[in-house]
Chain A
Amino acid sequence: MTDTTAILDHLTAEQDEAAGLEHGIKADEWDRLVTRLNRKPNLVELGIYSVMWSEHCSYKSSRRHLSKFPTKNDRVIQGPGENAGVIDIGDGQAAIFKMESHNHPSYIEPYQGAATGVGGILRDVFTMGARPIALVNALRFGSPDHPKTRSLVAGVVAGIGGYGNCVGVPTVAGETQFDEGYNGNILVNAMAVGLADQDKIFYARGATPGNPIFYVGSKTGRDGIHGATMASAEFSEGDEEKRPTVQVGDPFTEKLLIEACLELMATDAIQAIQDMGAAGLTSSSVEMADKGGIGVEMDLDKVPQREEGMTAYEIMLSESQERMLMVLKPGKVDVAKAIFDKYDLDAEVIGVTTDTGHLVLKQFGKVVCDIPVAPLADDAPNYDRPWNEPPKRAPLDIIKYPEPEDYGAVLVQLMSCPDMASKRWVWEQYDRHVMGDTIDSSQSGGDAAIVRIHETNKALAICSDCNPHYVAADPYEGGKAVVAEAYRNLSAVGAIPIAITDNLNFGNPEKPNTMGYIVKAIEGMAEACRKLDFPVVSGNVSLYNETDGVAIPPTPVVGGVGLIEDLSKTATLKGAQPGDALYVIGATEGALGASLYARVILGLKGEEAGAPPPVKLAEEVRLGGFVRSLIQSGLANAVHDVSDGGIACAAAEMAMASACGVKLMPGCQPEDNRADLGFFGEDQGRYLIAANEDQVRAWESEGFLLTELGKFGGDSIVLKTGLDENGKEFSITLSSLREAYEGWLPAYMNSVD
């Protein structure tokens, strides 16, 4: 028997500033809270304030800077502020997408942390009425030598696969990198892309008073209480003990929830809908109330519960997965219940919308919370955190380092280093083909995945990108580079880049040095978004990625989405034919600062690795348009963006994917005749193109810098360091390169310490 009186006394007891601190409400925030409320909160109310005002939910450190991002262009239907961004892809259809992090939970419990990250981002997309059609993930782990890395990789990959494979959404692209900077704080960023009809998009806004609040999905348990607050604090040694704050995912229920929600959405029953993600029932009800300008009254005894004796505090803060909250239109409860009953999912009316503007909660017949909604959402703190201008790095002086003696060995070393080596071991654990529309995926190692829009001849191109080494070296230029690379990756498959979602992973914003990187990276990214007409439509900020006071490398990841109007007009890196010429488009000056070569071959770290390559945004637009026009006209057999490891690595990837050797010279001939600058320099704004003579003859390339580097053919990659007799040749067979490239990760994962 539950002693309801004791529970109610506990829940409604007035709280003080010390209790606020325990809930992560700092002194100034406590004053703000008490002022707005005009009294001290009780325990339930304090719990609700603490999650709504957490960094995770309120973006209180980043909000003013996020407003610098452009969020609109001709195709944007919905920018940031809803569950996900929405873009117009023609024919009355829309693509809906977002990326989100699950960094802290994945470090504590990698399988469930990563799995629920996938579940959460899927819900953000199908909440809006979209059928999810693709998943992408961007993973960053610590050094391979670190004792935890192997088990984290295994757990995260299994968790992503376990969830995505079961719900039946293909995981089509991703990136996996390693750096000691993530030793104590890995990054797991997941992106979902969905497809909807433009006249069937659902929002959190739009609820009116007097309508039923409908709870669907899994029962509420005690899992994940205060997950949002955990995600808003630094880690310290021993935090693995926070494991109970990590939720457990149930992809089977998610699959049923997708089908049931989409079935209900096909009827005209839903007025507003919000998934229960971070801060569960609290944030979903507050968001809908706030956006609708209404109040909410809920009877928590009606919430389906997994355990007995849960308190209002626990019910409101639970982060149990696979739950949705909706406001139904009048008279639609029976229709909705019948659909959820078909799928054996819980579905209950738990309250009603009101015109009071208050969030009123009852348990055991008593009011346990009565607070105005607006201050919770709109009056959350919005800090202008002090920040320091990040220091400028000196350019890398390559002359200080000797030229390599064996370019073949350098190429093998680069192609088999942890960041570049094949991630087959990872993506073979993901179902890439379910739904039947995967045209190109991680399987071909291309710049962007290509996913057909069902029953059409159109497709979306999807990619994720971030080079944290550039951002660490110069957050402004590095921020530009992140966005520009996504733009190139989409252009390289023939897609028109439309918009991005971002996932900004940084350390503690209360430290001015870290805050400086946040500010400058956002400004650089925003500048690139503006110049490339490539706005941000959704995103997530993950701060406090620190362990014992050491921040992760600044890692603002972007997920790009582009449109392919005609699937017969695409390119990938795998179409090069024997006899094709290899061209580089764009200028090669030999930028080795902050490059893969500087890190892996020269062994340089931090400051000494130098400044990253500058990004010329106007040039990116021009070149992107040119490359797309070649693909449109069928004038290229294969296309590949030049990024980490420069021309040599990009050409090696094309050769392996095309199963055809290539012989090439460096992209530039500097005065001192060093070939490493031209082979491995990471100058931005470049593409490699394989094309035959007829195709090249038809190029309208006036005004574009094109350099013929060599020819495809044979079964080896031959690096020739210069013209004629001045050039030495270094040859490596495709099979031995492939062995090194494919071999690293399986060998690493299968070895035992």
Chain B
Amino acid sequence: MKTAVIVFPGSNCDRDAHDALLKVTGKAPAMVWHKDGTIPDGTDFVMVPGGFSYGDYLRCGAMAGNSPVISQLKAHAERGGYVLGVCNGFQILCETGLLPGALMRNASLHFVCRPQALKVETANTAFTSAYDGRSEVIIPIAHHDGNYYADNETLDRIEGEGHVAFRYAAGQNPNGSARDIAGILSENGRVLGLMPHPERAIGGHEGGDDGLGMFESLLSAA
């Protein structure tokens, strides 16, 4: 599988994304600088990493969503390429319109970093097939703006189409997210945005290893 990681000014999970992809695929991803970088031809999977692109000084992801590299990202998605946006990456994907809805400030108004129990809504996706038979995984979160919002019609639609990939485990919603949504898929199921950080749960550290399944799923899909 050929992979790439987009790097914005203020991205800070780009190295973690690199390491996770290297560990799972055995090959280093292309690191694509937002301003003048190119997503290499033949890339199967692009990761939009977490961090504070442009300091999140305007609205999280808003400025990155208008960066030069975004047109390439959209073209990749339109070709049916896989995209995973984590945390700030999820916010950016919502800003670009690749995913519906928006991420508002956490209901607590505090940044929150903790191991988070997630309900795997479906194992029938390119991102979750390795979780088949597991109803719950624990993946760390770390964000200030993870409170997913969309209007009811949109929420009904993405739920109805099976495009909610992960929810926060019952009673453990950390940010006030609508219908406990932690991660959603695009209509073609090939773009996933989620607040928890699978790249921080690849084994051998405090984040555990439940995130590996997401990359392994992709490896078998691509």
Q: Which of B40-48, B181-189, B194-202 contacts A (4 or more CB under 8 A)?
A: B194-202
Give CA–CA (A251, B55) in the complex, Å: 7
**Given known A433-B206, A434-B16, A437-B205, contact A252–B54 (CB-CB < 8 A):** yes
Would you call A168 an interface residue if the criterion is a C-beta within 8 Å of the partner chain's C-beta atoms? yes
Residue numbers in A under 8 Å from B33 (CB-CB): 342
Q: What is the minimal beta-carbon distance from A119 to any residue of chain B, in angstroms?
A: 13
A424 closest partner in B (C-beta): B114
**Given known A166-B55, A168-B51, A436-B200, contact A431–B10 (CB-CB < 8 A):** no
Residue numbers in B under 8 Å from A343 (CB-CB): 9
Give CA–CA (A162, B35) in the complex, Å: 26
Give CA–CA (A444, B208) in the complex, Å: 13
Q: Report, as a range, how many residues of chain A touch the other chain.
A: 35 or more
Residue numbers in B under 8 Å from A430 (CB-CB): 111, 113
Q: Is the CB of A452 within 8 A of B205?
A: yes
Taking CB atoms and an 8 Å cut-off, the chain A residues in 391-450 that contact chain B are 427-441, 443-444
**Given known A432-B206, A436-B19, A452-B205, contact A168–B13 (CB-CB < 8 A):** yes
Residue numbers in A under 8 Å from B10 (CB-CB): 166, 252, 255-256
B20 closest partner in A (C-beta): A436
Residue numbers in B under 8 Å from A438 (CB-CB): 205-207
**Given known A167-B12, A429-B111, A441-B206, contact A250–B55 (CB-CB < 8 A):** yes
Q: Is the CB of A433 within 8 A of B205?
A: yes
**Given known A250-B55, A439-B206, contact A165–B111 (CB-CB < 8 A):** yes
Residue numbers in A under 8 Å from B56 (CB-CB): 166, 252
Q: Is the CB of A434 within 8 A of B205?
A: no
Q: Which one, A252, A342, A441, A444, contacts B52 given CB within 8 A?
A: A252
**Given known A168-B51, A434-B200, A438-B206, contact A428–B113 (CB-CB < 8 A):** yes
Q: Is the CB of B16 within 8 A of A435?
A: yes
Q: Is the CB of A431 within 8 A of B19?
A: no
Give CA–CA (A489, B112) in the complex, Å: 27
Residue interface bits A330-358, CB-to-B below 8 A is 1, else 0: 00000000000011100000000000000
Interface of A is mostly: mixed
Q: What is the minimal beta-carbon distance from A158 to any residue of chain B, in angstroms?
A: 8
Q: What is the minimal beta-carbon distance from A260 to any residue of chain B, in angstroms?
A: 10
Q: What is the minimal beta-carbon distance from B188 to any residue of chain A, in angstroms?
A: 30
Q: Is the CB of A165 within 8 A of B202?
A: no
Taking CB atoms and an 8 Å cut-off, the chain B residues in 1-51 that contact chain A are 9-10, 12-13, 15-16, 19-20, 33, 35, 50-51
Residue interface bits B94-124, CB-to-A below 8 A is 1, else 0: 0000000000000000111111000000000
Q: What is the minimal beta-carbon distance from B49 to any residue of chain A, in angstroms?
A: 10
Residue numbers in A under 8 Å from B112 (CB-CB): 428-429
A258 closest partner in B (C-beta): B12
Q: What is the minimal beta-carbon distance from B198 to any residue of chain A, in angstroms?
A: 11
Give CA–CA (A165, B146) in the complex, Å: 15
Q: Is the CB of B140 within 8 A of A433?
A: yes
Q: Is the CB of A433 within 8 A of B52?
A: no
Residue numbers in A under 8 Å from B54 (CB-CB): 252
Q: What is the minimal beta-carbon distance from A306 to any residue of chain B, in angstroms?
A: 16
Give CA–CA (A343, B113) in the complex, Å: 28
Give CA–CA (A438, B201) in the complex, Å: 11
Residue numbers in B under 8 Å from A431 (CB-CB): 111, 113, 142
Give CA–CA (A452, B16) in the complex, Å: 14
* Residue among A162, A433, A443 having the largest count of chain B Cβ atoms under 10 Å: A433
Residue numbers in B under 8 Å from A344 (CB-CB): 9
Residue numbers in A under 8 Å from B35 (CB-CB): 342
Residue interface bits A357-387, CB-to-B below 8 A is 1, else 0: 0000000000000000000000000000000
B-contacting residues of A (Cβ < 8 Å)?
158, 161-162, 165-168, 250-253, 255-256, 342-344, 427-441, 443-444, 452, 567
23 contacts between A and B (CB under 8 A): A158-B110, A158-B111, A165-B142, A166-B55, A166-B56, A167-B12, A251-B55, A252-B54, A252-B55, A255-B12, A256-B9, A428-B112, A428-B114, A430-B113, A431-B113, A433-B142, A433-B205, A434-B50, A436-B16, A436-B205, A438-B207, A441-B206, A444-B206
Give me the 5 closest cross-chain CB pairs, A-B, nearest first: A168-B12, A252-B55, A166-B52, A431-B142, A436-B16
16 new A-B contacts at CB < 8 Å, known A432-B206, A436-B200, A567-B204? A158-B110, A158-B111, A162-B111, A168-B13, A251-B52, A252-B54, A255-B9, A342-B35, A431-B113, A432-B142, A434-B142, A436-B16, A436-B19, A437-B205, A443-B114, A452-B204
